[in-house]
Structure 1
Amino acid sequence: MKAADIMTVPVHSVRAEDTVAHAVQQMLQRRISGLPVVDQAGNLVGLVTEGDFLRRSETGTDKRRPHWLQFLLGPGRGAEDYTRSHARMVGEIMTTDVATVTEDAPLADIVRIMEKRRVKRVPVLRDGKVIGIVSRANLMHALAGVLGELRPTSDSDAHIQQQIMTELRKQDWTPLGSTSIVVRNGVVHLWGTIFDERERVALKVLAGAIAGVKAVEDHLVWVEPISGFYLTPPAA
């Protein structure tokens, strides 16, 4: 399997000149934990993640090291900490040294990058522009499909899967970043996480309306956004 087989698309992004508040709102609304930062031409210039917002002065979580440690570390570290906790623009806190792959990169290469760089997501580029993102969640969905032997078994299954994905990308409510669609022998299997039970119903309706679909199997897990409480699919 390659990056193109499991990557999340479309990709939501921000600009370096966008405010931190805007980036935070985008993550919350899209239910994602990281955003590529692109320039006017759409080229990747950085990456901003939820980890960049953990130490903020507004929440009282900014780093406050003892004076003796600050002396040993030097003024540069303190200046860097201050920037991260008080920055107002995405470009002031984004990571610029971003590990990327192309769409034909094997999953083994992506895993090696994640382990070596200690990152949770890797942007997928084509001609310098972001066309997708592979996250740890995407890898887990791929693993679930392999373990359950739920990969498409025919051209017909692959066509059904493509039709479903095409229809999903037209909608603004679909949880593409946290779900995976696999088709086997005309049966659609819905995997992943949803944050609203109404998404479950809509996903099943959308998949069931595709020509050639014999049945829809629901393996989705519902997560309550505030508490993090989760439930498995209801019994049939």
Structure 2
Amino acid sequence: MKPLYAFVILCLLLALPQVEARPRQEAALSIASVRGELFYLTVGGRVINRTPTNRVDVGDLPAGRYWLDIRILRRGRAQNIRAEVFLQEGYESIYELARGPRGNALFLRKVGEEPMRRRPDPRPTPRPNPRPDNTYDQDDVVCRNAMQERELERALRFMKEEGMDDRKLEIAKGEIKLAGGIMTEDLMALMDALTFEDRKVKLAKYAYTFVCDTRNFPRVLDALEFSSNKREMQDFIYKQ
């Protein structure tokens, strides 16, 4: 009798409607900078991109709340943003880094959500957006150590308090070395704080190896007035 009972039970099980298991859905996150600023992203303590990009897409994230830590590189000066977000199951949450109504600080705002049509690649995917002026390539990682605005103001203040150009030059060189990097625009501000052009040339040559945006370095010629000094700098730049 036991084989008969087993056969009946098997038939009943086959007659029951099959319930398809609901696949476990993940959530996704996309963050892009509106004006092409490069940034690093950490999600819940997990570093997503070790090379700064202007857009990061992240998948394979269980739905739920996360703390985001964003470090934005803007003209060599970093801005840090920490924000809590909620990622809805089965959706890609889209955010952007935009400039606030006051000042130059960026903030994170949600743009919308889109259903996940496919399983996203968990690796960050840089998107080639048009690069605005005053930004820099991803390989310019030295810009993470560029002189901050407060450091520039301090250097200019110290230089203003000195009367001798040679002393001003040493202060500028020391502050650049201490910071570890500088943007061309800030270098020109230090050059303008010097009186004699030969000192300006010396400062520009010294700072070359510290300059983050090397493609903009030829702009230092605009800080010089005499043609002989401009030719000297042009020769220097050509040799580099």
TM-score, scaled to structure 2: 0.23
User: Which has more strand, going by share of residues?
Assistant: 2
Structure (1 or 2) with the larger CA radius of gyration: 2
